[in-house]
Amino acid sequence: MNDAGLIPTPSQTAGPFFHLGCTDIHAVSCLANPRAKGERIWLTFRVLDGSGAAVDDAMVEIWQADSEGKYNHPADAASDEHEAVKQDCTGFGRLATDKNGKCIFETVRPGRVAGNDGRLQAPHLNVSLFARGVLNRLATRIYFNGEAANEEDAVLSLVPVERRVTLMAHQKAERPGHWHFDVRLSGENETVFFDI
């Protein structure tokens, strides 16, 4: 076939309904079953646009280590004992935001993992965000406000001090174990996104 007359289609952003196929059937709100070791937490995301309005059609994916700092991934140090632990904490979640721009994940607080340099990183969750008007996924991290290990984290140290607050989940004082995290797509206090 001669394709000399073909013209590339212009790139487009993801449409407002793209998440339906990924979250109607493949939604994952619980990353750790009741047998999973560690501190049980609930993490409420709220996705906001540049004007502070809720983004009601975003899709949030998170990937995390278990409470012992092990990922449910073949490349992580696997053992027979850890295989059972992996089944208790899958470490992966995917949800669409609701009309208020929110979604809630149930999991365990992740443990510290070694970075590429061998140093331990602070407990964190890796986040991918997909939304209307976003051509490529946005990647960020969530750290836990008040965590002492945040001061030692090599990735967090790359972020200017005044912008680190945009990567912090905050615990709800009235509900132990419940954390909230705002993702601001642009504007004042825009969440730090990583170019990966």
196, part of any domain: no
Residue 73 has a pLDDT of: 72
6, part of any domain: no
128, part of any domain: yes
Residue 79 has a pLDDT of: 43
Which domain CATH number covers 118? 2.60.130.10
pLDDT (tens digit, 0 to 9) for every residue of the chain, 196 residues total? 556 667 766 655 555 555 555 556 668 888 998 889 999 999 999 999 999 999 998 999 999 999 999 888 766 654 445 555 567 888 999 999 999 999 999 999 999 999 888 899 999 999 999 888 777 889 999 999 999 999 999 999 999 999 999 999 999 888 999 999 999 999 989 999 999 8
Q: Output Rg (C-alpha) for the chain, integer angstroms.
A: 18
Residue 115 has a pLDDT of: 87
Q: Which CA distances in Å does 171 have to 46, 162, 168, 186, 190? A: 14, 20, 10, 23, 20
Residue 196 has a pLDDT of: 82
The reported pTM is 0.84
Residue 132 has a pLDDT of: 80
3-state secondary structure 52-120: CCECCCCEEEEEECCCCCCCCCCCCCCCHHHHHHHHHECCEEEEECCCCCEEEEEEECCCCCECCCCCE
Residue 190 has a pLDDT of: 96
37, part of any domain: yes
- Number of domains the chain is built from: 1
Region label for 151, one of left (φ > 0), alpha (ψ between -120 and 50) or beta (otherwise): alpha
Residue 13 has a pLDDT of: 53
63, part of any domain: yes
133, part of any domain: yes
Domain encompassing residue 173: 19-184
9, part of any domain: no
48, part of any domain: yes
